[in-house]
Amino acid sequence: MTQSPTTPLPADSPHGLAAVEREIAHACKEARRDRMSVTLIAVSKTFAADAILPIIGAGQRVFGENRVQEAKGKWPALTQAHPGLQLHLIGPLQSNKAKEAVALFDAIHSVDRASICEALAKEIKNQGKHPELFVQINTGEEPQKAGVAPQDADTFIAACRDTYGLQISGLMCIPPVDQAPAPHFALCAKIAARNGLTNLSMGMSADFAVAIQMGATHVRVGSAIFGTRTVPHN
């Protein structure tokens, strides 16, 4: 049975997935939002196919990975065996991986600098593939974190469109681990609104309900579905 990517999952889904689905439904209800307005991205980084298969079997269709190389190793076989899956790149992208990223992913959440825009524009043209693009905003202005600084966001989004001819779908952010996420989600939503962007990729296992309250259209949930990652990864 195939489902559209946003179709709510059946109640007999694996434990973590069912709990996440219930919490998303509840958060949507609280926020008076349609459940279909939120896409759950199941973040499968570090997990092998045997852990991913039951989640596919339960009807989940949208998955996230944060490394091109890792995704390349495990996803082509899975997508071939299960038509209709969507794969999202949620981690940093190097321009020398743009070719593989455009070939492999249906969405890229980490557009954050001119060299990436240039490389993506070239590959989109060459491959005739149009992944959905999100600009990552470094809302906490953390030096070690990827993303465009909030004060540079408007100029960067304009350059994506005007200089590189990229169609931007929305914004993505990862709040600092040691801060309340809500102000970061609000800032991301505000930047999106003033740039005419409707999609917001925000919210992870610990805070996706808050993110939905603040307007998230894409929540990226890993450990709450798959369990704790034993391999260190970021």
Helix axes of 182-194 and 153-162: crossing angle, nearest 10 degrees:
40
Rounded distance between C-alpha atoms, residue 218 and residue 38, angstroms: 6
Determine which residue in the list 40, 174, 202, 214 makes contact with ligand PLP, applying CB under 6 A. 174
Cβ proximity to ligand PLP: between 111 and 224 the closer is 224
Cβ proximity to ligand PLP: between 45 and 184 the closer is 45
Cβ proximity to ligand PLP: between 110 and 195 the closer is 110
Determine which residue in the list 17, 55, 63, 91 makes contact with ligand PLP, applying CB under 6 A. 91
- Residues within window 214-233 making contact with ligand PLP, judged by CB under 6 A: 220-224
Rounded distance between C-alpha atoms, residue 158 and residue 170, angstroms: 13
Determine which residue in the list 20, 43, 187, 214 makes contact with ligand PLP, applying CB under 6 A. 43
DSSP per-residue letters across 30-75:
HTT--GGG-EEEEE-TT--HHHHHHHHHTT--EEEES-HHHHHHHH
Token couple for 137: 């905003």
Given the structure tokens 């490394």, which residue do they identify?
67
- With CB under 6 A as the rule, give the number of residues binding ligand PLP: 13
Residues that bind ligand PLP (CB under 6 A): 43, 45, 66, 90-91, 174, 204-205, 220-224
